[in-house]
Structure 1
Amino acid sequence: MKQHIIDKIKQYDTIILHRHVRPDPDAYGSQGGLAEIIKATFPEKTVYTVGEEEPTLYFMRRLDQIEDSVYENALVIVCDTANQARICDQRYKLGKEIIKIDHHPNEDPYGDLLWVDVDAAACSQMIYELYKTSEGQLKMSDAAARLLYAGIVSDTGRFLYSSTTIDTMQYAGELMQYTFDRQELFNNMYEKDAHVLKLEGYILQHFDIDDSGVAEVRLTKELLQKFQATQAETSLLVSILGSVKGIRSWVFFIEEEDQIRVRFRSKGPVINGLAMKYGGGGHPLAAGASIYSWKEADQVLADLKTLVAGQ
């Protein structure tokens, strides 16, 4: 499949790369990293990265604004996106052919070519593997290495998550040999504004945990306004309860204008099936969904407690 993808890239003069809504560094890293590899290998090709920009990720890459007409006779590659509803910029359908590259469970097998590897720690890891196994057909650049490294570091929780493999560490080490400022990259990824740190302190003081090891955090619109925290900033805090002894699984409920974002995390119990029950999905130990009332949040929490008790 990797060779088929490379052959398609060779075939097209215009290539447009998409990723999922509400992007994280792995979404930007895989999308932008592949774009930079293609540019380095085929400078004569026209390559675009599109989607709604996330201000907290400006340090990684700025995206392109293109007209609908650009999609005519273009190859579209969608990175790090499990299902079509979560593809940022639904114009991806206008392309002549579509390739899906992803590491989430393949619940929605869209595209003309699909490469899904649920054992990959990050989609950025898959993009590096595409380069590494190309036997010289693709070229790496410093810009691509920087983006892929950031994606791998982020989606492995700085190599703490169980999804981290020997290959993950090897690829990260090889990417470190390229020229980019890792310290500056880490500062941009992990430094937090004072108002976000204050919200983090609030969360650590107010989370609830029961005897089974299930914890929850509820962040209302009013609370987020008080701390002047954006949805993207709040999402960065979901993993902080992982360091709390005794927690087996936890859920964040983050209220927005028209819905409540549900963010599941786990140290063992598989929770992506529960996310799918509520119209979401994700990885076995990290998943998400959306609900529309606090009464529904009560049911989600009850379901999570039942699930954890059964595992």
Structure 2
Amino acid sequence: MIETIHALIEQYEKIIIHRHERPDPDALGSQLGLAQVLREHYPEKVIYVVGEEEPSLTFLGRMQEVGDHEYAEALVIVCDTANTDRISDKRYSNGGALIKIDHHPNEEAYGDLSWVDTSFSSTSEMIVQFIMTTQMAISSESALLLYAGIVGDTGRFRYTNTTPATLKRASLLIGQGFDQNAFYSNLHKKELKITRLEGYILQHFVVLEECVGVIRLTKEILTTFGVTSAESSQLVNAFSDVEGLLTWVFFVEENDKIRVRLRSKGPVINTIAAQHHGGGHPMAAGATAYSWAETEEIILKLIKATT
């Protein structure tokens, strides 16, 4: 599949790369990292990256404004996005061909070519393998971007999706000599308002059945701290190290729905997310609830899965 994708990339002079909404480090790392590698390897090609920006991650790179007419003869690549509903910028289907590259379970098959492999820790790690197989060069700039994606989805190499192969690919990136200290400083810095909200979360989360953590962030709470729903995602692991905790959930109220962020240290939770308009990894998933009563159903399912 890598060689087939490579052949299709070589056919197009214009490539537009998408990823999922509410981008995390892997979404941006794979999107921007692939773009940087292709720009360096094919300086004659036009490479665009599109989608909404996440302010806390703009240090990795910025998105571009792309006119509708640019899609007519372009190859579109979507990174790190299991289903079309979550693709940022809905023009992804307007190109001459569409490629899906993703490490999530293949909930929705889309694209003319689809490379989906759940054995990889992250889509960024898949891009590293793509580079290795095609023997493209990796600069310090592209290495930093792809390293950011791997770090993000492995929890700094602490999660069980970190394999020996993951570490070998990461070591290849580190060998390119980017500034790791500067990267981690940017990744972990927090605005004062986020730190204030973290304090609130640590004071108000509850633990049910001694193993399930729950926090509810209403619109009023977010307004009080001046934090958006997207910004609150930085704190999803705020109380993850509490002794005995096996699963936890963040409920974040938005205008017409409640964002559900599920995490686990062992019990499978993406099946619960799938029952509530979502999905994801076995131990890191997202969903959507449309009432606080529905959130209570999710909590009960978490307790059942955990105890």
What letter corresponds to residue 54 of structure 1 in structure 2? Answer: E
Residues of 1 paired with 2:234 and 2:302: CA distance? 22
Task: Measure how far apart 1:167 and its partner are.
Answer: 1.2
8 A Cα contact 1:212 1:305, kept in partner: no
Alignment deviations for residues 74-106 of structure 1 (CA, whole Å, 9 cap, x no partner): 110000000000000010100111000001000
In the alignment, structure 1 residue 145 sits paired with structure 2 residue 143: yes
1:96-151 Cα offsets, whole Å, 9 max, x none, are: 110000010001011111111111111101000100122x2x22222211100111
Once the two structures are TM-superposed, the CA of residue 307 in structure 1 deviates from its matched residue by 2.2
Whether 1:301 and 2:299 are equivalent positions in the alignment is yes
Q: Secondary structure at the match of 1:218?
A: strand
**CA distance in structure 2 between the aligned counterparts of 1:68 and 1:141, rounded to whole angstroms:** 31
Deviation at 1:211, TM superposition (A): 2.1
Structure 1 unpaired stretches of 5+: none
Q: CA deviation at 1:212?
A: 5.0
Alignment of 1:67 onto 2:67: yes
Distance 2:50 2:220 in 1: 32
In 1, the alpha carbon distance for the partners of 2:166 and 2:203 equals 35
Helix, strand or coil for the counterpart of 1:243? coil
State yes or no: 1:90 paired with 2:90: yes
Kindly, what percent of the aligned residue pairs are identical? 51
Residue of structure 1 equivalent to 2:48: 48
Query: TM-score by structure 1 length?
Result: 0.96
Q: Distance in 2 between matches of 1:55 and 1:202?
A: 22
* Counterpart in the other structure of 2:245: 247
SS at match of 1:114: strand
1:227 matched to which residue of 2?
Answer: 225
The answer to whether the aligner puts 1:214 opposite 2:212 as a matched pair is yes
* Number of residue pairs aligned between Structure 1 and Structure 2: 307
1:288 aligned partner, one-letter code: G
Are the counterparts in 1 of residues 209 and 303 from structure 2 also a CA contact under 8 Å? no
Please list, as runs of the form range in 1=range in 2, the aligned pairs for 1:281-292 lying within 5 A after superposition.
281-292=279-290
Runs of 4+ in structure 1 deviating by more than 4 angstroms, as ranges, are none
Render the CA deviation track for 1:170-218: whole Å, top value 9, x for unaligned.
Answer: 1111111213222111111101122211211221221111225111110
| Contact kept in structure 2, 1:36 and 1:144, CA below 8 Å | yes
Aligned equivalent of 1:195:
193
RMSD in angstroms over aligned alpha carbons?
1.1
TM-score by length of 2: 0.97
Amino acid in structure 2 at the alignment position of 1:145: A
Amino acid across the alignment from 2:138: M
CA distance in 1, matches of 2:123, 2:230: 20
Which amino acid counterpart does residue 278 of structure 1 have in structure 2?
Answer: H
CA distance in 2, matches of 1:139, 1:98: 24
Specify every segment of 5 or more residues in structure 2 that has no aligned partner in the other structure, as ranges: none
Is residue 2:260 matched to residue 1:262? yes
Structure 2 equivalent of residue 104 of structure 1 = 104
Partner Cα separation in structure 2 for residue 248 and residue 112 of structure 1: 40
Distance 2:197 2:56 in 1: 17
* CA contact 1:156–1:163 (8 Å) conserved in 2: yes
How far did residue 53 of structure 1 move? 1.6
- Partner Cα distance (1:104, 1:5) in 2: 18
Distance 1:158 1:108 in 2: 28
| 1:101/1:116 contact within 8 Å kept | yes
